[in-house]
A = this chain, B = another copy of it.
Amino acid sequence: MLSDILYLINNKKIQEARDRLADLQTYDIAEGLEALDQHDLVKVFRVLPKDVAADVFAYLSRDFQKSVIDSITDRELAEIMDELFLDDTVDMIEEMPANVVKRLLMSADKETRVLINHFLQYPDDSAGSIMTIEFVDLRKDMTVEQSFEHIRQTGIDKETVYTCYVTDDFRKLYGVVSVRTLLLSDPDDLIEAVMDTQFVYVKTHDDQEVIGRLFDRYDLLTIPVVDNELRLVGIITVDDALDVIQEENTEDFEKMAAMLPSDLPYLDTGVFVHARRRIPWLLVLMVSAILTGSIITHYEDALAVLPALVAFIPMLMDTGGNSGSQAATLVIRGMALDQIKPRDLLRIIWKEIRVAVMVGAVLAVFNIARIALVNQSFVLALTVGLSLYATVIMAKLVGCMLPIVAQKIKIDPAIMAAPVITTIVDAGSLVVYFLFARLILSI
By a CB distance below 8 angstroms, the chain B residues around A314 are 289, 292-293, 296, 313, 317, 426, 430
- Given that A314-B292, A422-B321 are known contacts, is A363 also in contact with B180, CB under 8 Å in the complex? no
A300 near B: Cβ within 8 Å?
Answer: yes
Which among A151, A297, A325, A340 has the highest number of chain B CB atoms within 10 Å? Answer: A325
- Given that A254-B329, A330-B254 are known contacts, is A294 also in contact with B267, CB under 8 Å in the complex? no
* Partner pick for A272 among B239, B358, B370, CB 8 A cutoff: B358
Contact A180 B158 (CB under 8 A): yes
A304 near B: Cβ within 8 Å?
Answer: yes
A434 to B: closest C-beta gap in Å: 12
CA of A259 to CA of B296, assembled, Å? 30
CA of A151 to CA of B184, assembled, Å? 9
Contact B250 A221 (CB under 8 A): no
Contact B282 A322 (CB under 8 A): yes
Contact B362 A271 (CB under 8 A): no
Contact code string A340-353 (vs B, CB < 8 Å = 1, else 0): 10001001100100
* Partner-contacting stretch, out of A5-13, A45-53, A104-112, A210-218: A210-218
CA of A333 to CA of B321, assembled, Å? 22
A187 to B: closest C-beta gap in Å: 11
A172 to B: closest C-beta gap in Å: 20
Complex A-B: 17 CB contacts under 8 Å: A155-B180, A215-B242, A245-B246, A246-B337, A258-B325, A265-B339, A271-B355, A283-B362, A290-B370, A293-B311, A293-B312, A296-B310, A296-B311, A296-B313, A296-B314, A314-B430, A318-B423
